[in-house]
Structures are given as C-alpha cells and as structure tokens.
Amino acid sequence: MHERELRAFVSIADVGRMDLVAKALGYSQPAISYQIKCLEQTLGVRLFLREPDGLRLTTEGSMILPSARAVLAILDEMRRLPRDPRREAELENLDWAAEQLRGRLAAPDP
C-alpha cells in the first residue's frame, strides 16, 4: 500500500471521476486506474462501482475511506513538522500511529 494509492482513492471518492483526479494529481487516467487496482488487491476488496456518471464507493470503500483520510492526514502532518531534535518524540509517535492505521487498513476482516 502506497501513499499515492491512498491519495488516488480519497480523491476519487471526493470527485467521483478518475479522469479529473488523474489530471489534478498529475498522472494519466490509466495510472490512476492501476493505483486503485493495486490498492484493491492489497486490501482484498473492491472500492468503487462504475456508473454512467462516474464512480461510486462500495460499502467496503465507504468503510475504508475514513481510515485512508486519517493515514493521509498523519503523513501530511509529519511533513509539516520541522526536523527539530526536540520534536523527535512527536515524530516517533506519528510514525507509530501511521503504522497502526496502515495495519488496520491491510488486516483481513475477522
């Protein structure tokens, strides 16, 4: 699971169209489609349903979306933190939290 896959997933969930997301993220539409396919394979679920006017989240996609947003928020926050030795403990806590969320996203359903 890669950050770019999560960004594509969240963006498509928000916009509903791969072509618009591809343009916004600076990728081709086939590249975005491949990122979603890879994420679906990693998670073992289908994330979107194709409809005449775009894509719609599946039930599983809707369940995963809040966690994907949380992971991206943590990654964004980590990038905003200055690399100050006094803040290393904060960074370690954010790293740990990001790993926990990634693990929850990838864990099979019991």
Domain boundaries, the chain: 3-106
Q: Which pLDDT tens digit goes with each residue over 22-75? A: 999 999 999 999 999 999 999 999 999 999 889 999 999 999 999 999 999 988
CA atoms lying within 13 Å on the CB side of residue 100 = 8
Contact 4, 22 (CB under 8 A): no
Q: Is the pLDDT of residue 105 over 90?
A: no
Distances (CA, A) of 25 to 49, 50, 79, 88: 21, 20, 18, 31
Residue 79: the pLDDT is 81
Residue with the bigger pLDDT between 65 and 81: it is 65
The reply to whether the predicted model has a pTM over 0.85 is no
Topology adopted by domain 3-106: Arc Repressor Mutant, subunit A (1.10.10)
Residue partners of 22: CB distance under 8 A and separation at least 6: 28, 29, 31, 32
